A and B are shown apart, each in its own frame.
Chain A
Amino acid sequence: MLHRLESLESCNYNGMGVAVLERQAASLKWQQQNYVVQHNNLVELCASSMPQLQGLTGSNLGSGQMVELKRPEVFLGSDDFQEFVNFPVAGAEFGDSEKLDMVPPEAAADYCISRTSSCQMTALNTSVMKEEREDMILEKMESTTGSGRKSFNKRKPEAVADHKGKNKRIKGEGEPEVKTKCSTEISRNSSKENSKASEVQKLDYIHVRARRGQATDSHSLAERARREKISKKMKCLQDLVPSCNKITGKAGMLDEIINYVQSLQRQVEFLSMKIAALNSSVQFNVENLTMKEFPAYVANFPAAAKLPAMASLPYFQLNPLQKESVNCMLNESMLPPQTATEGIASASVSISEQSLSSSSMTQLQPFSTWNMDPQDIVPGIISNFKREYNFKCHYSPSYKTYSNDSDSYHS
């Protein structure tokens, strides 16, 4: 077997050597089936090679480059498990001072590279060293700052968690029951030994997979998966909705989300009302405005919200009909400010009253300069006013009387 290993050593660890390695791995497998080798020996063997490798190629390993080894289950002679472990590009620890060609970082980050550490398959039985080596592996893995790939980062703590879990099991039974998959995720059943493993790193797991022998409670698993999905989505929504930062709990967040959606819809209504009113006075030459000009056009008004010239718009004056309706609304009730404080609410209401009395648009200017919160109030006012409109338009006789009044007022 040794000469096979030596031939392995002479391989350069680039992509070309993989096929060679796999072939030799297959042949080794046959040989190893004669050996009593447990999979965890691989772990500690490779781990034991680490310090030597570090001695050999200190500079190379210092960069922390690791190649992920994907060991096919067949290779180890035990069925249906795969192991995903991070290893350095190992293989030449047999006293050979051959320089390793380190895999370039891109390939190292590529988890599709499958290399077999077949060279590690000597039957070492240093069970004492097992834990230490595994801890070293864990440290190595933790210290590896993964590439930008999300999946890589995700799998790393899973491997960590898995190894720790495996550790416990080795102590207990010595039977390998690791179920790690390269391209899928581990389950997080906290009932068994994984309760400690999940302490290692907390990341978001998307998929949950049943552990072997524990799949009976499929309902609870499905429920747990569903709940995790929902909580993950709630977190995304929390980022979108600005007011959700302090609120925890589903119900409160849903309330905030509902309020936010309502306020956005009201803002759309308010803005369309505004455009309708402004539209009546301005001829907007859109034909001359292409999409390219639009940004420049808009950019010409840098502080687009600060508008001094709103006084020039006569048509947005609220005529008496509107004034009446808004007045009675203001008298009835203050609109419940969902996101604004009461101080702002009262201020805005007072300002709006001033604007009504003065019938000049300059008073409404501060509204546009404010952020979203006070604009919750104004759209609310306008939407109430719109509802009044609805009411009046539907009941035409009463509306006609109103229109007569307004006409007489105008004349």
Chain B
Amino acid sequence: MNTSKPPTMDLQNLNPSSLKSRFATRFLRALTKINAQKPISPSSPTEIFQRYRRIKVAADKSMAYSVRSRRTWSRATLWRLRTRSPRSRLATLARRSSVKTRTTTVVDKTSHGKENKEERGAGLGVEEEELRELVPGGEAMDLCNLLDETAHYIKCLTTQVQVMRTIANLYSLD
């Protein structure tokens, strides 16, 4: 099977402006902040859970910031993180539902225009919708751009996983 070590961790030649290093610096800074805010000792589940939430948010945020606004998914993530309070969740849902109706009409049109069988068009649509839900900001894109965004998102996610895994290993060794 695959090697245990992440294959693309070329640590000797770490490009300081690569996505990986940008994300790593940001994330580490956020981690120190989180460490500084809370006392370290307690092990109660709530504490751990809250810390987990914060760390996850920090990870997503640092990844999105490393990508800036160049990608739709990063913009959507940042937007989502900024308006995370419950009162604006309604706004998020409203926005998402309105956008979704728009997208579904677009999907219907194209599936009618194609010469594919109806079930095939619908079958593709189901997975498309799932993908749209997974990729942040994917609701308002056509399939072409959605695939682009997915590719970039996958690349960034793998980077994120690599860096976080290394950090977790570092933590556990100290």
B170 & A301 in contact (Cβ 8 Å cutoff): yes
CB distance from A388 to the nearest CB of B (A): 10
Contact partner, A371, options B4, B9, B45, Cβ 8 Å: B4
- Quick one: given A267-B161, A321-B45, A368-B169, are A303 and B5 in contact (CB under 8 Å)? yes
Per-position binary interface string of chain A over residues 229-272, scored 1 when its CB falls under 8 Å from any chain B CB and 0 otherwise: 11001101100110000000011001101101110110111011
Dominant secondary structure at the B interface:
helix
With the chains together, A272 CA to B58 CA distance in Å? Answer: 9
A282 & B174 in contact (Cβ 8 Å cutoff): yes
CB distance from A284 to the nearest CB of B (A): 6
With the chains together, A44 CA to B153 CA distance in Å? Answer: 52
The residue in A269, A271, A289 that gathers the most chain B C-beta atoms within 10 A of its C-beta is: A271
B35 & A264 in contact (Cβ 8 Å cutoff): no
A276 & B172 in contact (Cβ 8 Å cutoff): no
* Range class of the A interface residue count: 35 or more
- Quick one: given A254-B128, A271-B164, A321-B45, are A310 and B172 in contact (CB under 8 Å)? yes
Decide if B93 is an interface residue (CB 8 Å cutoff). Answer: no
- Residues of B36-65 whose CB lies within 8 A of A: 40-49, 51-52, 54-56, 59-60
* Range class of the B interface residue count: 35 or more
CB distance from B7 to the nearest CB of A (A): 10
- Residues of B10-37 whose CB lies within 8 A of A: 11-12, 14, 16, 21, 24-25, 28-29, 31-32, 34-35
Decide if B155 is an interface residue (CB 8 Å cutoff). Answer: yes
Per-position binary interface string of chain A over residues 362-397, scored 1 when its CB falls under 8 Å from any chain B CB and 0 otherwise: 000000111111000000000000100100010000
CB distance from A130 to the nearest CB of B (A): 40
Decide if A307 is an interface residue (CB 8 Å cutoff). Answer: yes
Decide if B173 is an interface residue (CB 8 Å cutoff). Answer: yes
Dominant secondary structure at the A interface:
helix
Q: List 8 A-B contacts (CB under 8 A).
A: A226-B144, A236-B151, A237-B150, A261-B150, A261-B154, A271-B165, A275-B167, A369-B4
Residues of B bordering A, CB below 8 Å: 1-5, 9, 11-12, 14, 16, 21, 24-25, 28-29, 31-32, 34-35, 40-49, 51-52, 54-56, 59-60, 113-114, 120, 123-124, 127-128, 130-131, 134-135, 143-144, 147-148, 150-151, 153-155, 157-158, 160-161, 164-174
Besides A233-B148, A304-B166, 11 other A-B contacts (C-beta < 8 A): A226-B144, A229-B144, A251-B127, A261-B157, A265-B134, A269-B56, A275-B167, A275-B171, A294-B28, A370-B4, A371-B4
